Amino acid sequence: GADLEHFINLNGREIAMMLIERKSTKNFLKTWIPKLKKDMERNNGVIGVIVTDVMPKDREDSKFWNVSSNVYVVKADAAIDILDVLRGGVISNFILEEASRISEDAEITSNVFQFLSSEGKEHLEEFRNNILEKEDQLNQRNKDHNRQIKKEWKNLNDQKETFLKLWHGLQDASQTRINLEDPKIFITDQTTE
């Protein structure tokens, strides 16, 4: 990983992290840059800085090399001042992003207010009324259904009661008939002899 993780704070709130890699060699190696980028990705670094005693050959006279939008190479004797400038840039970018976000929020709030104070309110009321109407319809269908089920239960119970009366009537009639027929059978049997 990087030699130093510098957490940048604004009003007590951590807003970013700068990874700083210190190199004290006689030659600058370009392989340091992809390694720093990987470290930044792994550690969520916003800026990566290589502080070196020796700049790349094609930039020997320079104290600062902007490798990409968030990776820099800085000569060691200028590092403190340049790191301070980079830190200030991170803070400025954060403030601009926050201001942009707040203005977007204000614009959204304004758009919502305009929507609600014009035809939007009517659309929302219509939507609400449709929901309430659908709820009433479902409640009414539920009542109708319950009423129908009640009727069907009453009908079934009436049929059951009628069946039981019929059954008992048949049983009573059968018992009476058997009792009446038995003596006839007995009498008939006696007369045929």
H or E element, residue 82: helix 79-117
Q: How much is the pLDDT for 120? A: 64
Give the C-alpha separation, 169 to 21, whole Å: 106
Q: Map out the domains of the chain as residue ranges.
A: 4-91
- Most confident range (mean pLDDT) of 23-27, 132-136, 143-147, 161-165 is 23-27
Which residue's entry shows tokens 């919502």?
112
pLDDT of residue 178 exceeding 60: no
Q: How much is the pLDDT for 179? A: 54
Sign of CA dihedral 167, 168, 173, 175: positive
pLDDT of residue 1 exceeding 80: no
- Residue pLDDT, tens place only, 38-80: 999 999 999 999 999 999 999 988 999 999 989 999 999 999 9
Give the C-alpha separation, 162 to 150, whole Å: 18
Q: How much is the pLDDT for 134? A: 82
- Residue pLDDT, tens place only, 140-153: 888 888 889 899 88
Give the C-alpha separation, 62 to 30, whole Å: 16
Q: How much is the pLDDT for 110? A: 74
